[in-house]
Amino acid sequence: MTTTDRPHSTQRGAETRAALVAAATSLFAARGFDGTSVRDIARLAGANLGAITYHFGSKRGLYEAVLQHGLTPLVEGVGAAAKAAGKPMERLESVVDVFFDHLSRTPELPYLLLQEVAAGKPPPDQVLAILRRNMTNLRGIIAEGWEDGSIRPGHPMLTAVSIACQPVYMTVMAPVLKAIGGIDLQNPATRREVSDHVKTFVRAGLAPSQESHS
Amino acid sequence: MTTTDRPHSTQRGAETRAALVAAATSLFAARGFDGTSVRDIARLAGANLGAITYHFGSKRGLYEAVLQHGLTPLVEGVGAAAKAAGKPMERLESVVDVFFDHLSRTPELPYLLLQEVAAGKPPPDQVLAILRRNMTNLRGIIAEGWEDGSIRPGHPMLTAVSIACQPVYMTVMAPVLKAIGGIDLQNPATRREVSDHVKTFVRAGLAPSQESHS
DNA sequence: CACATATTCATACGAACGTATGATTGAACC
DNA sequence: GGTTCAATCATACGTTCGTATGAATATGTG
């Protein structure tokens, strides 16, 4: 048998697994799935060529492990912000912060996800489930804001997307922002400026309409 | 000599060129640059394998032709909206419409661009120039809105990005929107609904702050 | 018709790819 | 200390890749 799935994985192979995921994350993000060879991954991870097949079954298996490993902490951060105390608008702003913070640490993440989405029409269930969780968290905060009148009514999911798209898009376009506008998201001060802009924009975009009542 | 650049290109090779660009556009968008073979492109275009090297010098040359061919009309549409008559806010809304209209016709476009951005850090000058033009147009409208007080002050470029990111992101994420939220951007009625949402969000996000004067 | 040039075409080459294979190592357990 | 099995390793296989090559064909001009 060819160990297509992970073996018991309780031994010291865990180090190799982690090294492979780390190496694959940066290489896949930088060069895309097809643009990255398993030989490059193994070399960067200091592992043997056969280690990828052994631990992940295939190159594709490693890719899915990379996706899950990268997406989970971000979504958990958003979930924590969603469940925290405070007014809905404040929690939405902290969601924006969570996005920028996390994406600044792992800017490769959106690339990995976008590759996945752009490739075939339906992303794998694994990724869909994670995104669904994220969407549900955001919609929960928004619905709460409807109830107390602090957020203007609107399409729940589209509103969530309008918020989340900004940190993600700006992170993806960071090289362009830098080249065209001199905006360097790597710089913490600049990143705070960008994050503040997005929060202001979101706050204004969600505020109850101007000409209405109390 | 190996005709690395286009020959005179006044003859009937123009048909082959066009067919290659069309085939490459859909294949590159669906599978990425590295995921697409020149053999597949030639087959889909009904052209010979050697035609790509002959007309575009290399696979990469064809890719850049695809990018330019796809981006130019969108940016020209935005330019037209920028130069049109009307209040700044109305023109910004028509920019959103232009984005959605154009991207619904060629939804592959953002993929092509994002692949380019995600791959290496600096996108080619050709693409940068096009994006710069787009940004300049948007900033022009925004600056005009500052002057007549119809748009809240803010960072010019970030504001432009906050607007443009939404149609682009939603088009890219269309498969996810459909799978998670049942929102089908292919459907014209739904697309109008999404476009209206974005316009409302942008209008609110740019409006002068609530508690101020006149 | 003859000539030159633009274009198409079939084929070949070397390199790089993902994966399979089987031997080898190292540690845990009786 | 011998047995077991997860893990590592070097190597090989068959495929597919982008591009080069040179002959064949179309096209347009005198």
**The residue count for chain B:** 214
CA B45/CA B34 separation, integer angstroms? 18
pLDDT at A129: 83
Inform me whether the pLDDT recorded for A9 exceeds 50.
no
Task: Answer for B58: CB within 7 Å of strand D.
Answer: yes
Number of Cβ pairs < 8 A linking chain A and chain B: 159
CB A37 within 8 Å of CB A62? no
pLDDT at A209: 74
Residue type for position B118: A
pLDDT 10s per residue in chain B (214 long)?
Answer: 333 344 444 567 788 999 999 999 999 988 889 999 999 999 999 999 999 999 999 999 999 999 989 888 888 898 999 899 999 999 999 999 998 999 888 888 888 888 777 765 567 777 788 889 889 999 999 999 999 999 999 999 999 999 999 999 999 888 889 988 999 999 999 999 999 999 999 999 999 875 544 3
B118: distance to nearest CA of chain A, Å? 6
Q: Does A211 touch chain B (CB under 8 A)?
A: no
CB A99 within 8 Å of CB A199? no
> What predicted TM-score, i.e. pTM, was given to this entire model?
0.82
Task: Answer for A2: CB within 7 Å of strand D.
Answer: no
CA A159/CA A155 separation, integer angstroms? 6
Task: Answer for A54: CB within 7 Å of strand D.
Answer: yes
Nucleotide closest to residue B13 (CA–C1') = C7
Among B residues 162-181, those touching chain A with beta carbons less than 8 Å apart? 162, 165-166, 168-170, 172-173, 175-177, 179-181
The torsion angles phi and psi of A182, rounded to 5 degrees, stand at: 65, 20
CB B80 within 8 Å of CB B194? no
User: What chain B residue is nearest to A121 in terms of C-alpha separation?
Assistant: B175
pLDDT at A1: 32
Question: Which chain B positions have a beta carbon within 8 Å of A152's beta carbon?
Answer: 204
Task: Answer for A130: CB within 7 Å of strand D.
Answer: no
CA B117/CA B134 separation, integer angstroms? 16
Residue type for position A137: N
CA B200/CA B68 separation, integer angstroms? 31
CA of A62 to C1' of C23 (A): 25
A34: distance to nearest CA of chain B, Å? 5
pLDDT at A30: 85
Q: Is A196 helix (H, G, I), strand (E, B) or coil?
A: helix
B65: distance to nearest CA of chain A, Å? 20
pLDDT at A126: 73
Give the pLDDT mean for A174-190: 91
User: What chain B residue is nearest to A178 in terms of C-alpha separation?
Assistant: B122
pLDDT band at A5 (very low <50, low <70, confident <90, very high): very low
User: What chain B residue is nearest to A115 in terms of C-alpha separation?
Assistant: B115
Nucleotide closest to residue B36 (CA–C1') = D17
Joined tokens for residue A179: 């080249």
Task: Answer for B43: CB within 7 Å of strand D.
Answer: no
CA B150/CA A97 separation, integer angstroms? 28
DSSP-derived letter for residue B208 is P
Joined tokens for residue A62: 């490693």
The torsion angles phi and psi of B128, rounded to 5 degrees, stand at: -60, -40
Give the pLDDT mean for A77-102: 91
Which has the higher per-residue pLDDT, A22 or A117? A22
User: What chain A residue is nearest to B110 in terms of C-alpha separation?
Assistant: A118
> Closest Cα to residue A142, out of A129, A128, A161, A127?
A161
Residue type for position A117: V
Task: List, chain by chain, residues whose CB lies under 7 Å from nucleic acid strand C.
Answer: A 2, 36-40, 49-50, 52-53, 58-60; B 3, 7-16, 47-51, 54-55
Task: Answer for A55: CB within 7 Å of strand D.
Answer: yes
pLDDT at B6: 45
Which has the higher per-residue pLDDT, A133 or B39? B39
For A141-153, what is each residue's pLDDT tens digit? Answer: 999 999 999 999 9
Give the pLDDT mean for A118-147: 83
Q: Does A204 touch chain B (CB under 8 A)?
A: yes
